[in-house]
């Protein structure tokens, strides 16, 4: 059994910088035609010059001329119309982080008064720049995303011409909100389709499955699977693949992030085939994103076959999801 994907896209990817970038960028570039790259470095990407420099570093590290890094800015409420108009051609979106809510987000937004955010968001609406949001409050960890849903709703109502991407959604409440507003869209990760909190902490703690937002309940996973498996036009694949050195995962203060880039397409083929909807995978990993963002990625054909794939224990010093396990699908060739 085989299946061919055309120009697969990862619309939420962390590539880091320095040595880590050199390790992980080729793994995404090998199988994906493009990826939306997150800006939460230290310091965060906040200027046109920083965007250009980071993109050049990614291109050099990726070692693949058929891979497009779609760039983002780290949201700041002081961005005005003139600044955004100047930077528009170098970015695809702007990423908003609540302050301190996840890795390298201390410089994020700490005031969600829409009046305070309005000048920047109105300029983004006029210029057609999408807003990507890490949607969590600082409340009880299992409730953080659900508590953020009213903020999504206020944003959607106040700025109806602004394309808003609810990043890496994990709850049934987020799925329900997604369907209520024309300008809301969402990314769904590989790991949230596979795991619940029980897989992370139900037995021995599994640090390499710890992420933010944390995996939720079985009913939440079911809601995600329903819209992903039907490849609903409002959802698209975004891995949120977030590499950390093993020393920062298997340690006190475990870093948040699941590294899925090198296994994503094989694992997606496996779970979509098990659900009997393999034919919908193309829309989920490429077609929907192209329509939502209005992009045309490079042509890249990825042939997958149903054959055992033993996942390596690590890539460099990073442990992937499914390390040492066998998946039932693998990538055979990329053209």
Instruction: Give the CATH number for residue 174.
Output: 3.20.20.140
The tally of CA atoms less than 13 A away on the side-chain side of residue 244 is 20
Task: State the chain's mean pLDDT as an integer.
Answer: 97
Classify the C-alpha dihedral 174-175-177-183 as positive or negative. Answer: positive
Q: Residue 63: its pLDDT value, please?
A: 87
Contact call for residues 36 and 73 (beta carbons, < 8 A):
no
Structural domain including 123 reads 2-334
- Distance, in Å, from the CA atom of 30 to the CA atom of 249, rounded to the nearest integer, reads 25
Q: What pLDDT sits at residue 64?
A: 75
Domain count, the chain: 1
DSSP state for residue 298 in the 8-state scheme: P
Beta strands 72-74 and 93-96 are: parallel
240 catalytic? Reply is yes
Catalytic residue among 10, 64, 220, 240: 240
| pLDDT value of residue 111 | 86
Q: Which residue ranges in the chain fall short of pLDDT 50?
A: none
Question: Are the C-beta atoms of 22 and 48 separated by less than 8 Å?
Answer: no
């Amino acid at each position: 059994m085989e299946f061919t994907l055309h120009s697969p896209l990862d619309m939420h990817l962390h590539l880091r910088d320095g040595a880590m970038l050199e390790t992980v960028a080729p793994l995404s570039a090998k199988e994906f035609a493009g990826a939306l790259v997150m800006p939460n470095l230290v310091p965060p990407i906040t200027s046109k010059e920083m965007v250009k420099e980071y993109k050049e570093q990614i291109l050099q590290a990726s070692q693949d001329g058929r891979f497009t890094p779609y760039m983002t800015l780290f949201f700041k409420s002081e961005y005005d119309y003139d600044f955004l108009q100047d930077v528009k051609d170098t970015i695809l979106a702007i990423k908003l982080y609540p302050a301190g809510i996840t890795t390298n987000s201390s410089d994020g937004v700490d005031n969600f008064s829409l009046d305070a955010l309005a000048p920047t968001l109105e300029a983004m609406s006029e210029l057609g720049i999408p807003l990507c949001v890490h949607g969590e409050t600082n409340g009880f960890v299992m409730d953080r995303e659900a508590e953020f849903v009213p903020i999504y709703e206020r944003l959607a109502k106040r700025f109806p011409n602004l394309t808003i991407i609810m990043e890496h959604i994990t709850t049934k409440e987020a799925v329900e909100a997604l369907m209520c507003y024309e300008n809301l869209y969402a990314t769904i990760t590989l790991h949230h389709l596979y795991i619940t909190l029980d897989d992370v902490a139900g037995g021995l703690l599994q640090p390499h499955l710890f992420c933010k937002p944390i995996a939720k309940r079985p009913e939440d996973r079911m809601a995600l699977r329903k819209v992903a498996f039907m490849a609903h036009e409002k959802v698209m694949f975004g891995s949120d693949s977030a590499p950390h050195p093993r020393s920062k995962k298997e340690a006190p203060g475990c870093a948040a992030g699941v590294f899925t880039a090198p296994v994503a397409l094989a694992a997606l083929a496996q779970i979509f085939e098990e659900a009997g909807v393999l034919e919908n995978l193309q829309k989920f990993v490429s077609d929907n994103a192209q329509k939502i963002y209005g992009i045309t990625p490079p042509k890249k054909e990825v042939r997958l076959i149903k054959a055992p794939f033993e996942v390596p224990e690590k890539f460099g010093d990073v442990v992937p999801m499914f390390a040492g396990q066998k998946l039932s699908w693998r990538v055979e060739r990329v053209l």
